[in-house]
């Protein structure tokens, strides 16, 4: 992706805007589940019915992410990003104003459409706006901002609901989204994407059309990296969702200690992401970073699967795994960047990001069934196996460079 001349100050301003939007996308994604206990009373529906809202948000986002990626490459990322942010946050905010469960489901679909813009638009802007010498750090900070939104949402929303009402908590998302969108509109002149560059530079390479773009996405190097995204998503989602249950059932870990292990895993992951960003700017062997990280994390996970591990050792193991998996994420993004032709970041990252949503569909059902069968130790065996599969996916695609004019 071609970069415009850039300064550290301008890069910082662009990154601040994009990361604020990414924070809001993850924050708004976790607003509803902590409030289900209160919403269930008001709407008099089952928890399964409320869970359908989250399913619809994810399904809507998964189905629309690739088409939105093509739109980003055709029309530009900035307006689509701002529109998606406002659509998602206002759709969620509107849930506080409707008395009808059926309308909640419609709003969930609309919120999913808004959520689908973030990865295609964000990465397109970052690759066009940030100096290539700092792009690895930018990717890592972008990822960390989303993780921070995930961590902040449950406690913030519950506190607001506790002091006021769940509807006020949901409405607060719309207010935060409006403030973030306004900041992007006011500061939008510092954001560049490839469409602006094409207008300013007639020789700039344009994004591919729909037929050529689909052909591009199904080239082997993109399919293999998609499998890499899918397996890394399954690893992270599985550990986030079932760490507490697995530790309690397998090792008899106290609930508080099991929760501490999950917190340690998430916190170490943030530090790993930030460290990975610095490494990503120091080397072009991003495949080697990911391979070492997955190899070591696989060894630690095999150790946990095959031994009775003390509570203190569990914390150490999850800190190591979290940090190593964090290292992988900037390297993964840089590998995608290395094979993405100019003007096609939206569709490519949109395609890759659907792996997260597909992984979120597969893992919860599979791991839940395994626990129901009383084979909890297999959670760690399968996770370690997925780490090895991810390792095998990364060598060749990382070195296949897209031809750039």
183, two tokens = 């900041």
Which among 251, 286, 256, 238 is positioned nearest to 399, based on CA atoms? 286
pLDDT at residue number 40: 77
8-200 architecture in CATH? Up-down Bundle (1.20)
Q: Is the pLDDT of residue 88 over 70?
A: yes
206/193 Cα distance (integer angstroms): 12
**CA dist list (Å): 372 to 109, 335, 364:** 31, 38, 12
Residues in contact with 150: Cβ distance below 8 Å, sequence separation at least 6, in sequence order: 26, 27, 29, 30
Q: Is the pLDDT of residue 201 over 60?
A: no
pLDDT at residue number 276: 83
Q: Is the pLDDT of residue 1 over 50?
A: no
CA quadruple 125, 130, 133, 139: dihedral positive or negative? negative
- Top-confidence residue, 274 or 155: 274
282, two tokens = 């120091």
323, two tokens = 């940090």
Residues in contact with 307: Cβ distance below 8 Å, sequence separation at least 6, in sequence order: none
Q: What is the pLDDT of residues 247-259, one digit of tens each?
A: 888 888 787 777 7
The DSSP string of 144-181 is HHHHHHHHHHHHHHHHHHHHS-HHHHHHHHHHHHHHHH
- Top-confidence residue, 401 or 347: 347
pLDDT at residue number 208: 60
197/123 Cα distance (integer angstroms): 16
**CA dist list (Å): 193 to 198, 206, 345:** 9, 12, 10
Average pLDDT (161-172) is 85
pLDDT at residue number 404: 43
- Top-confidence residue, 289 or 358: 289
Residues in contact with 258: Cβ distance below 8 Å, sequence separation at least 6, in sequence order: 243, 244, 245, 247, 248
Q: Residue for token digits 């992951």? A: 269
pLDDT at residue number 324: 92
Q: Are 228 and 397 in contact (CB under 8 A)?
A: yes
Range with the lowest mean pLDDT among 201-205, 235-239, 317-321, 330-334? 201-205
Q: Is 139 exposed, middle or buried (0-12, 13-18, 19+ CB in 10 A)?
A: buried
Q: What is the pLDDT of residues 377-405, one digit of tens each?
A: 888 899 889 888 888 877 654 444 444 43
HSE on the CB side for 271, CA within 13 Å?
12
Domain ranges of the chain: 8-200, 210-399
DSSP 341: P
Q: What is the mean pLDDT of the chain?
A: 78
Q: Is the pLDDT of residue 207 over 60?
A: no
The hierarchical CATH code for the domain 210-399 is 1.20.1250.20
Range with the lowest mean pLDDT among 61-75, 263-277, 332-346? 332-346
Q: Quick check: do 8-200 and 210-399 share a fold?
A: yes
172, two tokens = 């607060």
Q: What is the pLDDT of residues 9-26, one digit of tens each?
A: 777 888 888 888 888 888
DSSP 250: H
Q: Is 170 exposed, middle or buried (0-12, 13-18, 19+ CB in 10 A)?
A: buried
Q: Is 113 exposed, middle or buried (0-12, 13-18, 19+ CB in 10 A)?
A: buried
Q: Between helices 345-372 and 47-75, what is the axis angle to 10°?
A: 160
The DSSP string of 385-401 is HHHHHHHHHSHHHHH-P
Q: How confident is the model at residue 360 (pLDDT cuts 50, 70, 90)?
A: low
Cα 4–Cα 217–Cα 277 angle in degrees, nearest 5: 50
pLDDT at residue number 320: 92
Helix (H, G, I), strand (E, B) or coil at 284: coil
pLDDT at residue number 403: 42
The pTM assigned to this predicted structure is 0.69
pLDDT at residue number 2: 45
Burial 283-320 (b: 16+ CB within 10 A, else e): eeebbebbbbbbebbbebbbebbeeebeeeebbebbbb
pLDDT at residue number 196: 53
pLDDT at residue number 395: 65
Q: What is the pLDDT of residues 136-157, one digit of tens each?
A: 778 788 878 887 777 777 677 7
366, two tokens = 């599979």
Burial 232-264 (b: 16+ CB within 10 A, else e): bbbbbbbbebbbbbbbbbbbebeeebbebbbeb
Percent of the chain with pLDDT over 90: 3
Range with the lowest mean pLDDT among 41-55, 89-103, 227-241, 300-314? 41-55
214/218 Cα distance (integer angstroms): 6
Q: What is the pLDDT of residues 106-127, one digit of tens each?
A: 998 998 888 888 878 887 888 7
pLDDT at residue number 249: 81
């Amino acid at each position: 992706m071609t970069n415009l001349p850039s300064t550290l100050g301008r890069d910082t301003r662009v990154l601040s805007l994009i990361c604020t939007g990414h924070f809001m996308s993850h924050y708004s994604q976790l607003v509803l589940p902590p409030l289900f206990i209160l919403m269930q009373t008001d709407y008099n529906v089952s928890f399964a019915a409320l869970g359908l809202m989250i399913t619809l948000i994810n399904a809507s986002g998964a189905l629309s992410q690739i088409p939105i990626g093509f739109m980003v490459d055709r029309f530009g990322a900035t307006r689509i990003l701002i529109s998606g942010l406002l659509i998602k946050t206002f759709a969620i905010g509107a849930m506080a104003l409707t008395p009808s469960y059926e309308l909640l489901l419609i709003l969930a679909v609309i919120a999913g459409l808004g959520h689908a813009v973030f990865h295609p638009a964000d990465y397109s802007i970052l690759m066009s706006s940030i100096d290539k010498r700092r792009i690895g750090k930018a990717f890592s900070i972008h990822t960390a901002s989303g993780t921070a939104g995930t961590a902040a949402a449950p406690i913030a929303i519950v506190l607001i609901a506790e002091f006021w009402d769940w509807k006020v908590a949901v409405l607060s998302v719309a207010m935060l989204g409006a403030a973030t969108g306004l900041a992007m509109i006011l500061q939008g002149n510092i954001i560049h994407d490839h469409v602006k560059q094409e207008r300013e530079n007639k020789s700039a390479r344009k994004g591919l059309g729909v037929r050529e773009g689909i052909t591009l996405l199904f080239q082997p190097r993109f399919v293999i990296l998609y499998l890499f995204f899918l397996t890394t998503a399954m690893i992270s989602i599985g550990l986030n969702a079932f760490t507490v249950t697995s530790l309690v059932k397998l090792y008899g870990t106290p609930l508080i200690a099991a929760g501490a292990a999950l917190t340690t895993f998430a916190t170490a992951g943030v530090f790993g992401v930030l460290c990975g960003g610095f490494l990503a700017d120091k080397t072009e062997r991003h495949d080697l970073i990911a391979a070492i990280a997955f190899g070591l994390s696989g060894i630690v996970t095999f150790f946990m699967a095959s031994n009775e591990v003390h509570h203190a050792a569990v914390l150490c193991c999850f800190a190591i795994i979290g940090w190593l998996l964090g290292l992988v994420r900037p390297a993964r993004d840089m590998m995608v960047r290395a094979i993405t032709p100019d003007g096609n970041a939206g569709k490519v990252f949109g395609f890759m990001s659907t792996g997260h949503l597909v992984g979120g569909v597969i893992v919860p059902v599979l791991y839940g069934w395994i626990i129901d069968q009383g084979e909890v130790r297999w959670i760690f065996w399968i996770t370690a196996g997925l780490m090895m599969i991810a390792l095998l996916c990364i060598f060749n695609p990382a070195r296949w460079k897209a031809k750039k004019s």
